[in-house]
Amino acid sequence: MQGLEEYMLPCLNKELFGMECMGCGMQRAFSLLLHGEFIAAFKMYPAIYTLVLMFSVIAFNLFKNFKSANRIILILAIINAVIIITSFFIKTFSI
């Protein structure tokens, strides 16, 4: 995992326009999560934990279908969207 940072994709939006996109920090936050730096991962990208939870539910549902999976995934997707948009606006427009 030491060389994981070497394979991270650069943000095309940041390189072309000079401002971060709504996904900026997700790769680094996931890397921090894998290294056990949980608070730093949250500070880097606040939606990292709900995204991991949502993708875990999706993966679990692929192998073992359960009745309320679609509702749980929809709720998690809405929560993720709110967190991502809110943190983007806070990061972009804070002084």
Task: Look at residue 79 and tell me if it is in a domain.
Answer: yes
pLDDT value for 3 = 66
Query: Considering the domain boundaries, does residue 30 fall inside one?
Result: yes
- Domain of residue 53, residue span: 18-93
Classify burial at 41, counting beta carbons within 10 Å of its beta carbon; exposed 0-12, middle 13-18, buried 19 or more: buried
Task: Give me the tens of pLDDT residue by residue for the chain, a chain 95 residues long.
Answer: 456 677 777 777 777 887 778 888 888 899 899 889 999 999 999 999 999 999 999 999 999 988 899 999 999 999 999 999 999 998 888 75
The structure's pTM equals 0.81
Contacts of residue 32, defined as CB under 8 A and 6 or more positions apart, other chains included, come to 38, 40, 41, 44
pLDDT at 2: 58
Domain-located, residue 12:
no
Which pLDDT does position 25 carry in this prediction?
A: 85
13, part of any domain: no
Q: What is the DSSP string of 43-90?
A: HH-TTHHHHHHHHHHHHHHHHS--TTHHHHHHHHHHHHHHHHHHHHHH
- Establish if 9 belongs to a structural domain: no
Whether 25 maps to a domain, the answer reads: yes
As for how many domains the chain has, the answer is: 1
User: Would you state the pLDDT for residue 18?
Assistant: 77
Q: Which two tokens stand for residue 19?
A: 């401002």
**Residue 48 resides in a domain:** yes
In a domain, 8, yes or no: no
